[in-house]
């Protein structure tokens, strides 16, 4: 059995594109990029590179993340999630930290223990933060207002976070890590998300 090249039938024809049709195709492609790709890049997902060690060992310097910028338009951030945001004292920068306290809660930190008090737990509960690997110690009590969050880096001893500059307004939150793409051995969906356990105080 052999295969022969397919030739056009008498009713088919092949022509080279004209200069006008080339420009039309180029314009059509450019419009597609503007209408589809650019809004996705600006409002849906955005790439970020981790800089620094404030979230070590969960995230390390130089890791490449794709950030979901849509989910929080339809749902509230929850405790244990890692988020990307603009810090209130310098909104030109982007930080990555973990949510520890939610709106209207009181966060009390004593040495290495984080206690949360809220309407459901007026006596407070202690967070089980197994993701924190580096020794640290702080003392602080902070009550959050409406639409305010308390965030901290997993590497507490090397993190500028809510212990330093206060509560994070919800409007400053950009999104959450959707995918860790690089290094290749660390590829992961929704990296850094923790189902935080609690215990009574």
- Just list the catalytic residues: 54, 97
Nearest to 110 by CA among 47, 190, 201: 201
Whole-Å CA distances, 87 to 72, 123, 134, 144, 152? 17, 30, 23, 16, 12
CA distance 119 to 121: 6
Instruction: Using DSSP, state whether 189 is helix, strand or coil.
Output: strand
Tokens representing 95 are 């930080």
In contact, 47 and 66? CB cutoff 8 Å: yes
Tokens representing 153 are 């880096």
């Amino acid at each position: 059995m052999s295969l022969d090249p397919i030739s056009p039938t008498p009713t088919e024809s092949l022509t080279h594109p004209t200069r006008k049709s080339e420009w039309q195709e180029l314009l059509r492609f450019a419009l597609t990029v503007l209408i589809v790709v650019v809004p996705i890049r600006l409002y849906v997902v955005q790439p970020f590179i981790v800089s620094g060690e404030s979230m070590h060992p969960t995230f390390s310097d130089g890791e490449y993340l794709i950030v979901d910028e849509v989910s929080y338009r339809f749902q509230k951030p929850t405790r244990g999630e890692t988020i990307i945001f603009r810090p209130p004292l310098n909104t030109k920068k982007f930080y990555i930290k973990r949510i520890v306290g939610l709106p209207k809660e009181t966060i009390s930190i004593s040495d290495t223990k984080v206690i949360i008090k809220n309407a459901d737990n007026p006596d407070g509960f202690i967070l089980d933060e197994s993701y924190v690997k580096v020794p640290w110690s702080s003392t602080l009590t902070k009550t959050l207002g409406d639409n305010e969050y308390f965030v901290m880096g997993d590497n507490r001893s090397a993190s500028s976070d809510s212990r330093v500059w206060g509560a994070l307004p919800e409007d400053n939150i950009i999104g959450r890590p959707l995918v860790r793409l690089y290094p290749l051995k660390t590829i992961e969906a929704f990296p850094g998300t923790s189902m935080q356990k609690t215990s009574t105080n």
